[in-house]
Structure 1
């Protein structure tokens, strides 16, 4: 009897240990780099139900990512390397400082037999994607990152390229076809893509960032399988808006991120026992501050680029220009500040072509932001605390405070790989 009980106890422990080593079957990692905690608070205060990250309220685990220690010339690259590959290096992608090749999280997942995907509303040959598929030392130009795409061994690659879009996608079309990728050029082809094929989808960089939702829908349809999946989704648009201190644009793009997160949560609800969803921002851009509560009438409509396009398209009155910028009622009718702002606009509008409205608009948007309780301190990547949200199998590992290296190890453990030695 004792031998019988001992046998079943050992068997139970073996099954349990195998289950732990197998990891979570489906891991969805959403990157929203460039966002700090103040930006999320701004979105909640100013956007209400129209913008922000409302779906994070459904994620029970919250963590805080600490800045990397040490001196880095490029904090963005160092943080991306730390997350994707498990070491912090700011002048290389996908290799150790000594030049030894390492596997990224996506590479480790492929070795396990999982299906993998990397999706972005930005460019595939930008550094976030490169950190997951490239092995370059020193830091390569984007053209060399693009050359690594046919070697990336990822089941679904989707994004833009930093170059004019050729009709045939050369020089990528031939090697991607040889590797069994189905080239996707239209929304219809994306919706009708077969589940057993590899996909390579390209959009134009200036395209509406809602294209990421279409990529997400396709990925969640074709990637899940019995061995599991790792899906990395890079939401680049909020960071791009923060680079130019476009407050309304950041709020609107965070709303798009919220919709992407909603797709992931829908998948989690259908597979709650074996799915982990994590939303991560590795670094901050702009160092946004909220010295006081945000005004309730803060505009969340037009982005900075849209306003510039309207101003450049044709002559409008100074009052109309202020209205386009969401600052139409910011000044008293007879104030000196209004007189100066209108005079500045008149000088630009009447200047010879090509005329630039950017300095004038940036001044108006800065005045509007300060009036509404918002202040940007820079237009670059900064050291700041950034948020992490998680839900699902193993989500508790993402509570508390940790840096990007420790975050990498937590994700490896979620995949069942174990911490990097």
Structure 2
């Protein structure tokens, strides 16, 4: 009787729109979206009983992702028509619990991925650049993956960037420097974890290319190293220990940006789905899945590439939600960021209170793919001019030179470069045509280009600004990050806390 009274009181505390969830037999529609055309995600109610240990745990990390990257994706998916402005929610923003976490590390309020991922995986603060160790850079701190593996769960690590990059590495390795890629790869092989998926191994034969090949070392430790779509699709619970590498790689051995990915490729969501197939077992599993190139796009100030990867993350989370719907009382899904990158804002000085995210639809590829395209043009024509490049810019970004005949078309007014913007583009083109070691490296050049190719970063700045998006940095910022939670134990993750508390709450839930 007492339980029924408590249950009734909890229902009375809910908003009117949520009271239907208290009706017998009704599951809470935690993904219901009241905005026009939004996708509905149906999940079971995680608040109806006492906190219980989750059997299956998904931790999704959007590297470089804070509130603004998430809302920019919702604005992009929504309606930017004057008088009808609305966002279209992502599935994880509709989870029943939401929190906010601070991200500073032991050395800075603008931390790096090594220290923040270490906070998420171990619950300790450490120096920027340090993975899985205390501030003394010597004391090893066991991480949640290792502890849950010892408890009998299977472990999966997925990342869209190189698998021995800082964030994934923090869940299986311990090094004083995140740049010790080869040592990290060796610890990956020794971990005994069950599933690795995503990008390639950075410095697989060591910094000087004189070490035993890391792929071979993994195979000697019993891992199947697979690199084709057909092999990845064939993975199942009988596959044993697996490292599944993306068949298509982009900059520095990472998976392609979602914006550049082909429909017949292997997506981030596919790697999560295959991870479930490999890891599913009677003792449960823990999977950390990182969308790492949200961060890389933020560093390069390329809004659409970042937004596209946030949407790719949303698709991967949906895979976990679909699994949770089959195991509603046993699954916990967390979605968070490690830090914010780029100081991204929805709002730009020259546009006032206006935004025009539809302009971004004209960008057809990432800054990386554009750099590759221009690089090939340079090889084919040594004395390339702005007149040679402008048609390529128009085709791939929609931007039109003020002298172009198309500039007179009223319907294309939003895409016509002002004289100021065109001059910026001309200066950037001239700088871009120089050999990299001959380019300007003074303070002004760093503020304008941030070390990226001058032409591509100027293009993304211009199209972002026209859309109403601004940037303050080419680096990380100290902005707190959101935490979204659904499932068994999700109620622990509401409120405001530090990123180390995410580990501590997981440790409490799992009894480690």
For normalisation by structure 1, the TM-score amounts to 0.84
1:31 equivalent in alignment to 2:61: yes
1:408 equivalent in alignment to 2:503: yes
User: 1:54 is matched with which residue: 75, 90, 95?
Assistant: 90
Counterpart residue number, 1:15: none
Deviates more, 1:233-242 or 1:90-99: 90-99
Conserved? CA contact 2:204–2:215, under 8 Å:
no
User: 1:198 is matched with which residue: 227, 241, 249?
Assistant: 241
Conserved? CA contact 1:52–1:251, under 8 Å:
no
| Equivalent-residue separation in structure 1 for 2:135 and 2:423 (angstroms) | 54
1:336 equivalent in alignment to 2:419: yes
Deviation of 1:317 (Å): 4.8
1:235 equivalent in alignment to 2:291: yes
Q: Provide closer, same or farther for how the CA distance between residues 145 and 337 of structure 1 changes in structure 2, counting only shifts above 3 A.
A: same
Three-state SS of the structure 1 residue aligned to 2:59 is strand
Counterpart residue number, 2:186: 147
Conserved? CA contact 1:82–1:404, under 8 Å:
yes
| Equivalent-residue separation in structure 2 for 1:333 and 1:103 (angstroms) | 55
Conserved? CA contact 2:67–2:481, under 8 Å:
yes
For normalisation by structure 2, the TM-score amounts to 0.70
Counterpart residue number, 2:134: 96
| Equivalent-residue separation in structure 2 for 1:46 and 1:32 (angstroms) | 18
1:311 equivalent in alignment to 2:374: yes
Conserved? CA contact 2:269–2:315, under 8 Å:
yes
| Equivalent-residue separation in structure 1 for 2:374 and 2:454 (angstroms) | 13
Counterpart residue number, 1:302: 365
| Equivalent-residue separation in structure 2 for 1:283 and 1:103 (angstroms) | 22
| Equivalent-residue separation in structure 2 for 1:23 and 1:105 (angstroms) | 14
User: 1:65 is matched with which residue: 96, 101, 107?
Assistant: 101
Counterpart residue number, 1:11: none
1:85 equivalent in alignment to 2:122: yes
Unmatched 5+ residue regions in structure 1? Answer: 1-18
Superimposed CA distance per residue, residues 26-79 of structure 1 (whole angstroms, 9 cap, x where no aligned partner): 001111120111111111112339x98621244121111123365338543221
Three-state SS of the structure 2 residue aligned to 1:195 is coil
Deviation of 1:151 (Å): 1.3
| Equivalent-residue separation in structure 1 for 2:422 and 2:479 (angstroms) | 38
| Equivalent-residue separation in structure 2 for 1:332 and 1:60 (angstroms) | 40
Counterpart residue number, 1:44: 74
Q: Provide closer, same or farther for how the CA distance between residues 338 and 381 of structure 1 changes in structure 2, counting only shifts above 3 A.
A: closer
Conserved? CA contact 1:76–1:381, under 8 Å:
no
1:390 equivalent in alignment to 2:485: yes
Q: Provide closer, same or farther for how the CA distance between residues 119 and 161 of structure 1 changes in structure 2, counting only shifts above 3 A.
A: same
| Equivalent-residue separation in structure 2 for 1:261 and 1:107 (angstroms) | 23
Superimposed CA distance per residue, residues 327-365 of structure 1 (whole angstroms, 9 cap, x where no aligned partner): 33467979533652564477569x577899931332233
Q: Provide closer, same or farther for how the CA distance between residues 405 and 322 of structure 1 changes in structure 2, counting only shifts above 3 A.
A: same
Deviation of 1:250 (Å): 0.8
| Equivalent-residue separation in structure 2 for 1:389 and 1:202 (angstroms) | 28
| Equivalent-residue separation in structure 2 for 1:118 and 1:346 (angstroms) | 41
Counterpart residue number, 2:274: 218
| Equivalent-residue separation in structure 1 for 2:166 and 2:460 (angstroms) | 29
Counterpart residue number, 2:221: 179
Q: Provide closer, same or farther for how the CA distance between residues 270 and 399 of structure 1 changes in structure 2, counting only shifts above 3 A.
A: same
| Equivalent-residue separation in structure 1 for 2:236 and 2:418 (angstroms) | 63
Three-state SS of the structure 2 residue aligned to 1:189 is helix
Superimposed CA distance per residue, residues 209-243 of structure 1 (whole angstroms, 9 cap, x where no aligned partner): 55322321211112121111101111102111111
| Equivalent-residue separation in structure 1 for 2:334 and 2:274 (angstroms) | 19
1:161 equivalent in alignment to 2:201: yes
